[in-house]
Chains A and B, each alone.
Chain A
Amino acid sequence: AQSVTQLDSQVPVFEEAPVELRCNYSSSVSVYLFWYVQYPNQGLQLLLKYLSGSTLVKGINGFEAEFNKSQTSFHLRKPSVHISDTAEYFCAAPRGNQFYFGTGTSLTVIP
């Protein structure tokens, strides 16, 4: 079973509009959850992480995510996107000694 599932492969959104990128996790992974961003031809940069405590996590670049145990979700949100947010976004979680990623969501911000 997929450990981490990203439900949308592509998300187009107009500049200054809100966006939500969806991520669901399976019970086989730990409840440490992460979002990464990847710009073209670059490595992955950590946006935010949930390890414990408050279920609402704030990250860099104005992004936030909410851990929802009952829905096994960790959706990423931003209230107003910029052109510079155009990138690939990955949800990730460790399982045992490995680190698993979703298949990614390509966010395109339209001027």
Chain B
Amino acid sequence: DGGITQSPKYLFRKEGQNVTLSCEQNLNHDAMYWYRQDPGQGLRLIYYSQIVNDFQKGDIAEGYSVSREKKESFPLTVTSAQKNPTAFYLCASSYVGRGAFFGQGTRLTVV
């Protein structure tokens, strides 16, 4: 079945560590997105990519990095520079300008 897969579902990070969240899609979509969701704040765009080897910062890119080496994959690294990383992270993919399909999310907690 076609879809978008995020892993892991739950992730714990110690202070000062970098962690990488995985996002894979087999929908042949060109565009992929990473969002952060905090209670009461809706979804905020971290990074997005329209094509392989190209990506752009969203509204809250500081402390995050991404890569797009393959069309199917768009991993997100939460670096130690991100001071408040505890949140629910959602990956999505779409044809440009059309509806986005979402993964099931990764809940990141700093311990």
Contact = CB atoms under 8 A, between A and B. Distances in A.
Interface of A: 9, 30, 32, 34, 36, 41-46, 49, 51, 90, 92, 94, 97-104
Contacts of A49: 99
Given A32-B97, A97-B96, A41 B43 contact: no
Contact of A44 (B41, B48, B90): B90
B73 interface: no
Nearest to B44: A101
Interface of B: 6, 31, 33, 35, 40-43, 45, 48, 50, 56, 58, 88, 90, 92, 94, 96-105, 107
Contacts of B102: 36, 43-45
22 contacts: A9-B40, A34-B99, A36-B102, A43-B6, A43-B102, A44-B100, A44-B102, A45-B102, A46-B101, A49-B99, A51-B98, A90-B43, A94-B97, A97-B48, A97-B56, A98-B45, A99-B92, A99-B94, A99-B100, A101-B42, A103-B41, A104-B43
A11 to B, nearest CB: 15
A80 to B, nearest CB: 26
Given A30-B97, A41-B105, A46-B101, A101 B43 contact: yes
A54 B99 CA distance: 17
Chain B residues touching A, majority SS: strand
Nearest to A106: B40
Q: Which 8 A-B pairs have the closest CB atoms?
A: A43-B102, A103-B42, A44-B102, A101-B43, A43-B104, A104-B42, A94-B97, A43-B105
Q: Is the interface of A mostly helix, strand, loop or mixed?
A: strand
B105 to A, nearest CB: 5
Contacts of B96: 94, 97
A107 to B, nearest CB: 15
Given A49-B99, A92-B100, A42 B56 contact: no
Given A34-B99, A101-B42, 9 more contacts: A32-B99, A43-B104, A44-B100, A45-B102, A90-B43, A92-B100, A98-B48, A99-B48, A99-B94
